[in-house]
Amino acid sequence: MPWLHDIDPVAFEIGPFSMRWYGLMYLSGYVVGLSLGWKRLRDGRLPVSAAAFLDLIFLAMLGIILGARLGHALFYAWPQTVSDPLSVLRIWEGGMSFHGGAIGVVLAVAWWSKAHRVAFGDTIDFLVPLTAPGIAFGRLGNFINGELWGRRS
């Protein structure tokens, strides 16, 4: 028999604004990844300025979010996307795709690498260690939302 929890997916509310645990997990992954990135930048792991590093992190996060949302629309909600294209913009209704986020971040990082004349492989090597906390926090968000059950073992 599976273990079920009763965690409210809304962490807190302020007036009409409600902050969901899943959003807090994205924020936590971003903050921890940014902190690790600063350390790696200080260690000389990527030969760029602090401003270029912040651009990279911003574009990577934007690529993840936009790619994940578009991936959901294309891979999992195609009939709804075709019948109501504006549904893609209604992010409060949920729907993110890991695969879409991966594609989005790769495209964003490739663009940044070309714009800053840094080898794509060097940029990816710099970023990969920063992804583990984000993935871990994302899985905690999935757990709180009651997603990704998997198969019985």
Task: Give residue-wise pLDDT tens across range 28-61.
Answer: 999 999 999 999 999 999 999 999 999 999 999 9
pTM (two decimals): 0.85
Report the C-alpha gap between 36 and 40 in whole angstroms. 6
Domain that holds residue 138: 10-145
Mean pLDDT estimate for the chain: 92
Long-range contacts of 143-148 (CB under 8 A, 24+ apart): 143/5, 144/5, 144/7, 144/9, 144/21, 144/22, 144/25, 145/9, 145/21, 145/22, 146/4, 146/5
In the chain, what percentage of residues exceed pLDDT 90?
76
Average pLDDT over residues 95-124: 96
Q: Which two tokens stand for residue 30?
A: 């971003």
Residue 5 resides in a domain: no
Whether the pLDDT of residue 148 is over 80: the answer is no
Residue 122 resides in a domain: yes
At 104, which helix (H) or strand (E)?
helix 98-116
Whether the pLDDT of residue 77 is over 90: the answer is yes
Residue 150 resides in a domain: no
The total number of structural domains in the chain stands at: 1
Whether the pLDDT of residue 1 is over 60: the answer is no
pLDDT band at 3 (very low <50, low <70, confident <90, very high): low
Average pLDDT over residues 6-17: 91
Residue 106 resides in a domain: yes
Residue 93 resides in a domain: yes
Q: pLDDT tens across 126-140, in order?
A: 999 999 999 999 999
Tell me which residue has tokens 């009651």.
Answer: 146
Strand partners, 14: 17
Report the C-alpha gap between 89 and 75 in whole angstroms. 16
Residue 151 resides in a domain: no
